[in-house]
């Protein structure tokens, strides 16, 4: 037996307890311990049955992250599962905390399963572009049926033990002491032959069941290889004998594991965890935040308030205009109510959140807040005026944050006598839903202020990425490059719908022109200073400002469905004539190269300038804030997979000289 186990035998019942903190990850030593435990029980005449349990806060919570991407080490998980299932003496799994991925595969290989009611069981492999590979797609349909198995495996969300018991995945819920209940079951079945999951029959279902499941989830599955592979493997459980189905599962699993999507998703998994790490603030304690102030009750301000309230923090919401304040409060109320109706939030939690919202019309009411987030109109004059006031009324030691998409955080901080307390918090709309939070570090931002921003981001459920202070920070600076190239191509002869379609086929939910129309083409534009020197300005001057006017690069009907616009096309063609540009046709490959690779070049420059800490941070920004297709791993990862030398070659073919920063990658 290994150092991760303990072994006890009492009155014929052996208890093998695995202790591999913090989450009993299924490392090589754990796998060996399980195989050894089965062998020990089999050869000990005093042992009549065996309980497998875990110490600490959870049952096996999944694979060992340290083994990700490395060659497999024996015994493989398939060997462990087969060894447990083949045991000549009954084996009982005692489940608490979580049984996820390989942890659930181990539990299903046991002959009986007992769980505490609060335990969660699931197979999240699909979220790494994988599927279970150790009999999971063969065992689960035999226990719960095809339809439930498809939901659990292909959607990847865990189920509570109470639901698992109802569907047959768990044999008994522990009313009291889990280990005592498991031992009682082990004693009761000690003289019975093992009840092996593989011997159950997975009932066939009509082909329509698989087709309907795929159709219902088409939007979630779009672009991913794993869901169709999972469906095929689950189907094999109903059509093939167990051994053949297991071989089919393994064949499909290995193909996914060696595929590009799994590599990309592993990258994404670790990139999000790395993004929250800032070496220079290791060990720095964040400031205490017990009360948050939000300035501005518009779309962004109310969204930020909802995100903070959902995390259990009280919010003081300030707006100068009473009607605007009322609209913001109504928006917050309706969103919380919608969450309750949809089952995303308990009624008690929604009521508590609303009770901790304090709408105010005087900025002085924010005085005792520990963190104030300004979400006012995106102009330097407005934000500087607000921060001048905040400096006078907010208590010393409070963190002052500006939610800005492009503006100079240092110039805003300079309006205070405490620039060390100022940080940028760039939320993405809708702020209560979008995961990304760009944390912008000014030149004077104190280490504990940065630590506080990261701690708050975690508390409100955001994926934080730290950026240096530069125009557009990480995401919008790269977005500006893509927009420049997209607009240049339509002037040169491509149509907006052609450009959008290329990017949407690549995997984005929306192309640049549909996105521009949705956001509003007049963001940052005003008639007073318009020069008509860009196609976007020409459209705004013509009253085509996007969906808000039902006309932009596209025309829109009442349902806001975009239609190609001959008026927009004429405006673009006229602009091309005015600027002396000869129009031509474009191929899809040329459009895609011109949309993606100049962005990547800009990302390399952000890295070289120190605005981004690491290339994976850039990927995290684009994956969580801009809809970059997750199965490609993000712009910088996608470029590395393509080959940086090849990216440089394609840029040169477009007539664009790659930067030294890109070549240095």
Query: Is 60 exceeded by the pLDDT of residue 1?
Result: no
The average pLDDT across 318-323 equals 96
Mean pLDDT of 195-222: 96
- pLDDT band, residue 653 (cuts 50/70/90): very high
In a domain, residue 320? The reply is yes
Note the pLDDT of residue 346. 93
Q: Are residues 137 and 239 in the same domain?
A: yes
Q: How confident is the model at residue 524 (pLDDT cuts 50, 70, 90)?
A: confident
> Residue 363: is its pLDDT beyond 60?
yes
Q: What is the pLDDT of residue 28?
A: 94
382-428: pLDDT as tens digits = 999 999 999 999 999 999 999 999 999 999 999 999 999 999 999 99
Indicate whether 419 belongs to any domain: yes
180 found inside a domain: yes
Residue 64: band (very low, low, confident or very high) from pLDDT cuts 50, 70, 90? confident
Alpha helices, DSSP H, located in 555-643:
566-578, 588-608, 615-625, 635-642
Say yes or no: 16 and 129 in one domain: yes
**588: helix, strand or coil:** helix
CATH number at residue 71: 3.90.226.10
Give the pLDDT of residue 504. Answer: 97
CATH number of the domain residue 309 falls in: 3.40.50.720
β-strand pairing of 399-402 with 436-441: unpaired
The mean pLDDT value for 609-633 works out to 97
State the pairing for strand pair 422-427/436-441: antiparallel
**Positions marked active-site:** 105, 125
Rounded to whole angstroms, the Cα distance separating 302 from 305 reads: 5
Residues 153 and 298 in one domain: no
pTM of the predicted model as reported, rounded to 2 decimal places: 0.91
Asked if the structure places residue 263 within a domain, the reply is: no
What percentage of residues in the chain have a pLDDT greater than 90? 95
Q: How confident is the model at residue 248 (pLDDT cuts 50, 70, 90)?
A: very high
Work out the number of other CB atoms within 10 angstroms of the CB of residue 39. 12
* Residue 252's pLDDT band (cuts 50, 70, 90): very high
Residue 167 has a CB neighbour count (10 Å cut-off) of 16
Same domain, 564 and 605: no
Residue 171 sits at φ, ψ, to 5 deg, of -80, -35
Same domain, 67 and 213: yes
Domain membership of residue 272 (yes or no) is no
CA-CA distance, 526 to 42, in Å (whole number)? 80
Looking at the structure, tell me whether residues 516 and 544 fall in a common domain: yes
Query: Could you tell me if 336 and 380 lie in one domain?
Result: yes
114-155 pLDDT, tens per residue? 999 999 999 999 999 999 999 999 999 999 999 999 999 999
Nearest Cα to Cα of residue 50 among 87, 100, 2: 87
| Same-domain pairing of 531 and 627 | no
Q: Which of 97-106, 279-288, 525-534, 637-646 has the lowest mean pLDDT?
A: 525-534
Question: Do 171 and 150 belong to one domain?
Answer: yes
Same domain flag for 466 and 547: no
On average, the pLDDT of the chain sits at 96
Distance CA 635, CA 349 (A): 38
Same-domain check for residues 227 and 316: no
Q: Which pLDDT band, with edges at 50, 70 and 90, does 2 fall under?
A: low
Q: Is 101 helix (H, G, I), strand (E, B) or coil?
A: coil
Q: What is the pLDDT of residue 3?
A: 80
Question: Is the alpha carbon torsion for 182, 187, 190, 191 positive or negative?
Answer: negative
Of the residues 242, 258, 274, which one is the last residue of a structural domain? 258
Final residue before a domain boundary, out of 578, 602, 631: 578
Residues 111, 85: Cα–Cα separation, whole Å: 7
Q: Among residues of the chain, what percentage have pLDDT more than 70?
A: 100
Q: Is residue 207 part of a domain?
A: yes
What are φ and ψ of residue 324, in 5° steps? -65, -40
Residue 594 lies in a domain: yes
Distance CA 404, CA 374 (A): 9
The per-residue pLDDT for range 559-607, each reduced to its tens digit, is 999 999 999 999 999 999 999 999 999 999 999 999 999 999 999 999 9
**Residue 564 forms part of a structural domain:** yes
Residues 635, 546: one domain? no
Beta-sheet strand order (sheet of 463-468): 357-360, 315-318, 292-295, 371-374, 399-402, 422-427, 436-441, 463-468
Q: 539: domain CATH number?
A: 1.10.1040.10
* Helical (H) or strand (E) element with 91: strand 91-95
Boundary of a domain, candidates 550, 578, 606: 578
Domains in the chain, number:
4
Beta bridge partners, 440, equal 424, 467
**Domain containing residue 534:** 509-578
């Amino acid at each position: 037996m290994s150092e991760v186990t303990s072994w006890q035998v009492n009155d014929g019942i052996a208890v093998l307890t695995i202790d591999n903190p913090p989450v009993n990850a299924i490392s090589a030593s754990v796998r060996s311990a399980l195989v050894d435990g089965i062998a020990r029980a089999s050869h000990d005449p005093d042992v009549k049955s065996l309980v497998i349990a875990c110490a600490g806060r959870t049952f096996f919570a999944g694979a060992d992250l340290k083994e990700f991407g490395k060659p497999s080490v024996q015994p493989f998980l398939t060997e462990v599962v087969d060894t447990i299932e083949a045991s000549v003496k009954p084996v009982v799994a005692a489940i608490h905390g979580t049984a996820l991925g390989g942890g659930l595969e181990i539990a299903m290989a046991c002959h009986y399963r007992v769980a505490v009611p609060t335990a969660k069981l699931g197979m999240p492999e699909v979220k790494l572009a994988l599927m279970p590979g150790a009999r999971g797609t063969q065992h689960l349909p035999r226990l719960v049926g095809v339809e439930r198995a498809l939901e659990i495996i292909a959607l990847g969300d865990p189920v509570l033990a109470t639901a698992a018991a109802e569907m047959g995945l768990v044999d008994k819920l522990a009313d009291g002491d889990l280990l005592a209940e498991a031992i009682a079951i082990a004693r009761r079945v000690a003289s019975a032959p093992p009840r092996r999951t593989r011997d159950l029959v997975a009932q066939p279902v009509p082909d329509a069941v698989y087709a309907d499941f795929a159709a219902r989830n088409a939007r979630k599955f779009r672009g991913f290889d794993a869901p169709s592979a999972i469906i095929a493997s689950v189907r094999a459980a109903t059509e093939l004998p167990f051994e053949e189905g297991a071989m089919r599962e393994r064949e499909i699993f290995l193909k996914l594991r060696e595929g590009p999507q799994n590599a990309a998703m592993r990258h994404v998994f670790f990139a999000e965890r790395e993004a929250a790490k800032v070496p220079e603030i290791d060990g720095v304690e964040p400031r205490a935040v017990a009360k948050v102030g939000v300035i501005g009750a518009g779309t962004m301000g109310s969204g930020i308030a909802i995100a903070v309230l959902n995390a259990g923090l009280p919010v003081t919401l300030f707006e100068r205009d009473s009607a605007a304040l009322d609209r913001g409060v109504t928006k917050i109320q309706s969103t919380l109510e919608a969450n309750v109706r949809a089952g995303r939030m308990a009624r008690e939690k929604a009521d508590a959140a609303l009770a901790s919202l304090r709408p105010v019309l005087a900025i002085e009411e924010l005085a005792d807040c520990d963190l104030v987030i300004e979400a006012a109109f995106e102009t330097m004059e407005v934000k500087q005026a607000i921060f001048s006031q905040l400096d006078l009324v907010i208590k010393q030691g409070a963190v002052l944050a500006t939610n800005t998409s492009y503006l100079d955080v240092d110039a805003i901080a300079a309006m205070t006598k405490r620039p060390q307390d100022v940080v940028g918090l760039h939320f993405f709309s809708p702020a209560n839903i979008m995961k990304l939070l760009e944390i912008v570090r000014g030149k004077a931002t104190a280490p504990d202020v940065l630590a506080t921003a990261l701690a708050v981001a975690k508390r409100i459920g955001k994926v934080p990425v730290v950026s240096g202070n530069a125009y557009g920070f990480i995401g919008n600076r790269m977005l500006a490059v893509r927009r420049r190239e997209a607009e240049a191509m339509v002037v040169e002869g491509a149509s907006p719908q052609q450009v959008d379609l290329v990017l949407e086929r690549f995997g984005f939910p929306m192309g640049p022109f549909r996105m521009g129309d949705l956001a509003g083409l007049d963001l940052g534009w005003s008639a007073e200073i318009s020069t008509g020197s860009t196609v976007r300005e020409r459209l705004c001057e013509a009253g085509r400002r996007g969906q808000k006017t039902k006309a932009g690069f596209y025309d829109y009907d009442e349902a806001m469905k975009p239609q190609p616009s001959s008026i927009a096309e004429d405006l673009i063609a006229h602009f091309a004539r005015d600027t002396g540009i000869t129009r031509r046709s474009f191929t899809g490959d040329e459009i895609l190269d011109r949309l993606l690779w100049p962005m990547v070049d800009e990302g390399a420059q952000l890295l070289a300038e120190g605005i981004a800490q690491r290339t994976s941070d850039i990927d995290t920004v684009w994956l969580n804030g801009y809809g970059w297709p997750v199965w490609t791993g993000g712009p910088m990862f996608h470029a590395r997979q393509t080959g940086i030398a090849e990216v440089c070659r394609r840029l040169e073919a477009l007539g664009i000289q790659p930067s030294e920063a890109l070549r240095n990658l």
